[in-house]
Amino acid sequence: MVLSLSSQRHYSILISFLMLAFSLLALAAVANASQEEIHSLIEKLKNRSLEWSERQAAVEELRKIGKPAVPALIDLLTFDNAPFFAHVHLAAQALGEIGPDAREAIPDLAALLDDFDDMHVLAGDYVAGSAASALARIGPASVPVLLEALTSNDPRVRREAAAALGNIGPAAREAALALVEAASADPDVSPYAVRALGKIGPVNDAVVPTLIQALKSSDEERVIYALGAITEIGPPAKSATPALTGVLKDERMNLRIKAARALWRVEGRSLEDVQALTAALGNDETAFRMLAADALNDLGPKAKEAVPALIGAIKDEDPWVRRFAVQAVGSIGPAAKAAVPALIEALKDPVYQLGEGESGGPRVRRYAAWSLGEIGPDAKDAIPALTGALSDEEKWVRSTAEAALAKIARNATTKRD
C-alpha cells in the first residue's frame, strides 16, 4: 500500500509525537528514580547505626548525582535530631564535593560559620570548619559571604573565613585587600590571612609588602605562614629577598630552612633540580645546606648523582645538615652504597638529640642505622658497626640497628636466591 504525500506527513508527525512522549516519560521515570535514590542516600547520612565508611560512600554517591541532590542536603543542615550532629558535617562535606553546582547552599552554609559548639565536634572539626571548607570548594560565589564573615566579632569565624578564602585561591582576588588589612591589623587572624594571601597570589601591590612585614613578627606562626606564602608566590615576591636573608640568621632551625626554601623559589629555582641542590650542599650558609639535603631526601633514588656530595655533607659541622644528609642517602637506597663508610662513621656521631620529646633532632646515629638498612646487602661491611650499635645508650639507635641488620641479612638471602 502506498500512502499519499499528505498521509505520509501525518504519519511522520504521529511518530515524532510518540517519540517525544516516550522521551518525556523516560525522563520523568529517571527523575523519580533519582529522587528516590537521593532520599535513600540522605537517610544513610542520618543513620547512626551504619558504619562510617557506608555514610562516606553515600556522600560520594550524592556527589555523583550533583545539583539535583542539593535541596535535600540543604534540608539536612539543621540540628533537628539534636544532640546528633554528624549528618550536618556529612551534608556540608557532600555540598563541598558537589562544588559550584551547590551555590544555592551558600546562605545556609554561611549561617553555620559561627557554630563552634563543643557538642558538635566530629573528628576534631567544628561544624564551622566543615561549613567553611564546603564554601571554599563551592568557589568564587562564596567570596561575598566569606568577606562578611571576615568582619565577625568572633575571631574564630574570622579565622575560618580567611582560611576558606585562601583555599579558593586566585579566584578570591577581590578579598585580597581585606586579607591585607586582617594580616596587618588583626592579631587573632593575621597568620591565617597571611597564608591566604600566599594562596591567592600577588594580585595587588600591597600583598608582598604585607608578607615582608609579617616576617618581622614576634609571632612564630605568622612568620611561618609568611614564609610559606612567599614560597608559594615565587619570583613575583623577589622584593622579599632582604627580609628572607635576615630570617636565615634566626636561631630557630625551622625558620631558617623555610627561609632558605622561600629564597630558593623567589630566585626561580626548582626543588627538583638535583644539580643545583648538589651545589648548594657546599653553600656557606647553613640553612641552604640543610635545605639542599632535605630536598634531596624528598627526591629519593632520583638524587643518586648527589651521593658524592652527600657523603661530604654527612661530615658537616652542623648536626642538622648531617642528619638530613644521612636521611637523603637512605632514601636513595642501594644506589648510595658508596656512602657506607661515611654512614659507619656516622654511627658514632656525638650529638644524639636536640630539643625535647621523641620528635627532637638530629638523631644522626639512628638515621645512619636506618640508611644502612635501606642500602641493604651492599652495606654488609657495616655489620660489625651495627652490631656494636646494639649497645648504644639510646634505645631508638638500638632498635633501628637491629632492624637494619635484619634487613641486610634478609635482602642478602633474597639476592643470592
- Tell me: the pLDDT tens digits for 29-83? 334 448 888 889 989 888 888 998 999 999 999 998 999 999 999 998 887 655 5
Residue 125 phi, psi (nearest 5) = -105, 135
- Are the C-beta atoms of 95 and 83 separated by less than 8 Å? no
pLDDT at 258: 87
More confident residue, 115 or 157: 157
Percentages helix, strand, coil for the chain (3-state, rounded to 5) are 75, 0, 25
pLDDT at 5: 47
CATH 1.25.10.10 domain extents, the chain: 32-138, 169-268, 274-417
Residue 326, C-alpha cell as written in the block: 644521612
- pTM score, whole prediction: 0.65
More confident residue, 5 or 84: 84
Domain 32-138 is found in CATH 2.60.34.10: no
User: What's domain 169-268's superfamily in CATH?
Assistant: Leucine-rich Repeat Variant (1.25.10.10)
| pLDDT over threshold 50, residue 28 | no
Measure Cα distances from 51 to 44, 63, 102 in Å: 10, 19, 26
Residues 6+ apart with CB under 8 A from 168: 136, 139, 140, 142, 143, 146, 200
User: How far, in Å, CA of 254 to CA of 249, rounded?
Assistant: 12
User: How far, in Å, CA of 244 to CA of 255, rounded?
Assistant: 10
Domain 274-417, CATH: 1.25.10.10
**What one-letter code names the amino acid at 1?**
M
Measure Cα distances from 166 to 158, 163, 289 in Å: 12, 5, 31
User: How far, in Å, CA of 271 to CA of 380, rounded?
Assistant: 33
- For 191-225, the pLDDT digits (tens) are 999 999 989 988 888 899 999 999 998 888 889 98
Q: Confidence band (pLDDT; 50, 70, 90) for 354?
A: low
- For 96-153, the pLDDT digits (tens) are 999 999 999 999 999 988 887 767 677 667 888 899 999 999 999 999 999 999 999 9
User: How far, in Å, CA of 135 to CA of 138, rounded?
Assistant: 5
How large a percentage of the chain has pLDDT more than 70? 85
